[in-house]
């Protein structure tokens, strides 16, 4: 294949990967709207069905990828898979409770700082160096979080913001644990995390005396949310192999942009002005982080491109 053909193939692959990641964020952005459409009064029984759907969906992905060997990953990771799986469980539980206690805008904006929290945790736990631009982004994120939390103290939704920040921290820990143990395929960890979620939600629901059946309407919505998660997972993993991580970080922000939009259009749910300001600061922090990675990539000339 000629150098021109190779460059054209790389460009086509990059464009496809970029579109896949942007579409991932767009698909995941409907999650908040689906959550608002739930009719159940108690969240823990809903979590049972949500996690059951997630576990079955990702079990299907693993069976397809590994030719029927559902637990082959245990031979690769063993007990090292447990911390990452538990972090996924905590992240998704906290996120749904955040959606139940604050606006979709606030929850998604808090979740968007997960890459920055992951960088901070990797610096503390793995001694990975942090770029100067990332420190700037972290400072911006801290300012944005302060504005949003300060607003929630006065206008309500404080606990929801705390849940959203806890979810973001759990997702960051999930990323760092996976990196530490060398987990390449994260589908098994999501499946195991979903199984843990079933056990926890079932235990809480049973002890509290909640009815486990939440109605066909909410069960179908739980299945739909799990399908969104799974489809986005497949698209993201396909796209991330073709797009640099920093660029993917920016492209995936379609979730943050469109998630609050759908809820505003259907339920007229609007965040406060102070929350909007804090969210914009958080969004700027994410763009600084992603932009620094893009500039670093631009300074590296690919070997093929250097040829005449």
pLDDT tens for 274-303 read 888 988 888 888 878 777 665 555 443 333
pLDDT band at 183 (very low <50, low <70, confident <90, very high): low
57 token code pair? 């969906």
238 token code pair? 């396909």
Q: Is 5 a member of any domain?
A: no
Q: Is 6 a member of any domain?
A: no
In this prediction the pTM is 0.84
Report percent pLDDT > 90 for the chain.
Answer: 39
Greater confidence (147 vs 68) lies with: 147
Q: Is 302 a member of any domain?
A: no
Q: Residue 293 in contact with residue 115, Cβ under 8 Å?
A: no
Q: Is 305 a member of any domain?
A: no
Q: Which of 197, 35, 3 is nearest to 103 (CA)?
A: 35
Q: Which of 222, 98, 65 is nearest to 165 (CA)?
A: 98
CA distance 121 to 160: 23
What local confidence, expressed as pLDDT, does residue 299 receive?
43
Q: Of the ranges 61-65, 126-130, 231-235, which one carries the lowest mean pLDDT score?
A: 126-130
Instruction: Break the chain down into helix, strand, coil percent, rounded to 5.
Output: 80, 0, 20
Averaged pLDDT, 40-65: 91
Tokens 């991580």, located at residue: 245
Q: Is 4 a member of any domain?
A: no
pLDDT band at 12 (very low <50, low <70, confident <90, very high): low
User: Is pLDDT at 139 greater than 70 in this prediction?
Assistant: yes
pLDDT band at 306 (very low <50, low <70, confident <90, very high): very low
Q: Is 159 a member of any domain?
A: yes
> Distances from the Cα of 165 to the Cαs of 74, 75, 274, in angstroms?
31, 34, 17
Handedness of CA 59, 64, 65, 69 (dihedral sign): positive
Range of the domain at 124: 14-297
Other Cβ atoms within 10 Å of 196 Cβ, number: 18
CA distance 245 to 139: 21
List alpha helices for 39-80, DSSP H. Answer: 43-65, 73-77
CA distance 13 to 122: 30
Report how many domains make up the chain.
1
Q: Is 307 a member of any domain?
A: no
Chain segment 253-275, per-residue pLDDT in tens: 889 889 999 999 999 998 888 88
Q: Is 167 a member of any domain?
A: yes
| Residue 103 three-state SS | coil
Averaged pLDDT, 99-113: 90
CA distance 145 to 169: 13
């Amino acid at each position: 294949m000629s150098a021109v053909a190779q460059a054209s193939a790389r460009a086509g692959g990059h464009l496809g990967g970029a579109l896949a990641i942007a579409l991932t964020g767009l698909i995941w952005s409907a999650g908040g709207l689906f959550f608002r459409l739930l009719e159940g009064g108690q969240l823990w029984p809903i979590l049972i069905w949500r996690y059951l759907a997630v576990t079955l969906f990702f079990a299907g992905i693993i069976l397809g990828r590994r030719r029927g060997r559902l637990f082959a990953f245990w031979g690769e990771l063993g007990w090292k898979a447990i911390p990452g799986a538990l972090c996924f469980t905590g992240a998704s539980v906290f996120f749904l409770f955040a959606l139940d206690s604050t606006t979709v805008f606030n929850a998604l904006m808090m979740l968007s700082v997960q890459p920055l929290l992951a960088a901070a945790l990797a610096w503390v736990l793995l001694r990975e160096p942090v770029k100067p631009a990332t420190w700037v982004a972290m400072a911006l994120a801290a300012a944005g979080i302060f504005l949003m939390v300060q607003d929630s103290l006065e206008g309500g939704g404080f606990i929801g913001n705390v849940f959203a920040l806890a979810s973001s921290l759990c997702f960051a820990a999930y990323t760092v644990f996976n990196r530490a143990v060398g987990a390449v395929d994260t589908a098994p960890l999501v499946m195991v995390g979903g199984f843990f979620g079933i056990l926890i939600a079932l235990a809480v629901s049973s002890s509290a005396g909640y009815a486990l059946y939440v109605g066909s309407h909410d069960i179908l919505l739980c299945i739909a949310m799990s399908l969104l998660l799974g489809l986005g997972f497949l698209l993201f993993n396909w796209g991330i192999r073709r797009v640099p991580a920093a660029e993917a970080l920016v492209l995936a922000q379609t979730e943050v942009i469109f998630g609050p939009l759908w809820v505003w259009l259907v339920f007229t749910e609007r965040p406060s002005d102070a929350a909007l300001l804090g969210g914009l600061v958080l969004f700027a922090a994410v763009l600084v982080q992603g932009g620094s990675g893009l500039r670093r990539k631009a300074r590296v000339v690919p070997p093929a491109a250097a040829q005449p």
